[in-house]
Amino acid sequence: MKITEFIGLQIFEFLYLLLLAFLPFVVLQRSVSFVILALIGLWVVYYSYKKLTTKAVEALGKTVLITGCDSGFGHALAKRLDAVGFTVFAGCLSKESDGATLLQNTSDRIHTLELDITKDESIRECLETVQEHCGSKGLWALVNNAAINYIGDVEFSSMDAYRRVGEVNLYGTINMTKQFIPLVRTAKGRIVIVTSAQGRLAVPSNSTYAITKYGLECFSDILRLELQGFGVKVVVVEPGNFGGSTGMLSPLALSRMEEEFSNMWKHAHDDVRTSYGKDYLDSQYKSVIQAAATAGPNIVPVIDAMEDAVSSVSPSIRYLVDGDKSWYDHSNFLIRIRPFIPDKVLDYLVKRVSVNTRPKPALATY
């Protein structure tokens, strides 16, 4: 086998060959086998102990506010927290949406609110309503979940797109958090911020969305340190590949994305069109559809993490949640090994993952 062919193998194939190469050594060296088995055993014991000793707070009498409940994670979490006894204020972009209507008919403990986190007046009205309900008890948890997606290379993404996504994902979340900190501080509760695996791994064509998630990662870390003295916990939930299982890549969202790709081409500079070619954008849209099909089959793992972030006495600081239909989440795997490999190696692996699902520009070389 030529070295170029070997390098071109998928990560899984490479690891498989590596395992075969070292298998005789592991079998012959009993001490090595013992150490590996001991480490696996310790991890299983630790994981089991953590699960068995995890304590949940008393849900009854505690109030949670969730943004972005029209669909996806927010909608599912509202129903899950209601089921365990929390009073839930579900922020929806429209109270007339199908998701809001479903939540209104779910339980007396769920209260839907029309909330646009990009508008100060809407946030103030939400704060007044929640404050009136909570009274002196305060707000147990604020779950910042609302977000919008956008896909496009830097040269195709307009400044308007960067601002529009930033207003929702980054500045809207920051504004919500700042307004509700006093209520959460009163309850000595927690602030849960839903970022993304893309907030920890740079992937081509995702700068508009990812920089907002990178920003929230930093914001969360600083906020956690600032609020520790008040007994307030700040928790980050980082979903992996679940886009196809949420509203982010629903048929309606994909239709809008197709229109966005068309507008990208329409407003692109001539030199950008020449460099990339129309076929690039057309095939890129098809690759997005393909990527949506590889997403985790359901969002239950994310909802489990979000519920634990809200209800656990001692929640984790971060929940990196694996998605994907394959046996492992490619992006999350790279996030985990990132501290141990050089940047050039990481760049190569990221391009290997992303190039398999995205086309090449007309004049680009990989």
Q: Which of 209, 276, 280, 319 is catalytic?
A: 209
Q: Judging by DSSP bridges, how do beta strands 87-92 and 110-114 pair with one another?
A: parallel
To 10 degrees, what angle do helices 159-166 and 207-227 make?
30
Quick check: 104 and 128 in contact, CB under 8 A? no
To 10 degrees, what angle do helices 30-53 and 11-28 make?
120
Question: What is the 3 state secondary structure string of 79-132?
Answer: HHHHHCCCEEEEEECCCCCHHHHHHHCCCCCEEEEECCCCCHHHHHHHHHHHHH
Radius of gyration (Cα) for the chain, nearest Å? 23
Q: Is 162 a catalytic residue?
A: no
Look-up of token digits 């329409």: 266
Give 236's strand partners. 193, 318
Alpha carbon 91 to its chain's center: 18
Which residues are known catalytic residues?
A: 209
